[in-house]
Structure 1
């Protein structure tokens, strides 16, 4: 049973770290959008609208991955510990 407890704690810390990364990325996109679009526009040749769509898609996909690979397994293990 110790291994399930270790996995649960590991997934919990992974979730905390990934939520922090997602929050920082969202904050960066919200506060530094102009600078980011200039830099990424020069690097990739994409327009401002395309880059904003790419930023939103990145944040959405990161959030989905966070739910699927960290939060859902964490809560499933927490629920199964109580049974």
Structure 2
């Protein structure tokens, strides 16, 4: 098996797993927001209003990380192996 094909498969699985984690986290934050906010405001000494910003930044940074470190290499390798 070619190294490029192996790398393509690696980044494809990485993309799938990371997208799944992002989806799961988003669903949990939407579904259980009051419970999560209550717990995390006590754990980290943050006000509940600040947690909305923290959650938004977390999801945004994670999405950018997926695009940079999984999607972009995967698409680049797919283009390289199809040519």
Shorter-chain TM-score bucket reads: over 0.9
Q: Which residue of 2 aligns with 1:7?
A: 7
The separation in 1 between residues aligned to 2:45 and 2:82, in whole angstroms, is 53
Normalised to the residue count of structure 1, the TM-score between the two structures is 0.96
Following TM superposition, where does structure 1 have runs of at least 4 consecutive aligned residues deviating by more than 6 angstroms?
none
1:54 shift after superposition: 0.3
Normalised to the residue count of structure 2, the TM-score between the two structures is 0.96
Aligned length: 83
Q: Which residue of 2 aligns with 1:54?
A: 54
Alignment of 1:16-31 (within 5 A): 16-31=16-31
1:45 shift after superposition: 1.1
1:67 shift after superposition: 0.3
Unaligned segments of structure 1, at least 5 residues: none
Unaligned segments of structure 2, at least 5 residues: none
1:68 shift after superposition: 0.1
What SS does the aligned partner of 1:46 have? coil
The CA RMSD over aligned residues, in Å, is 0.9
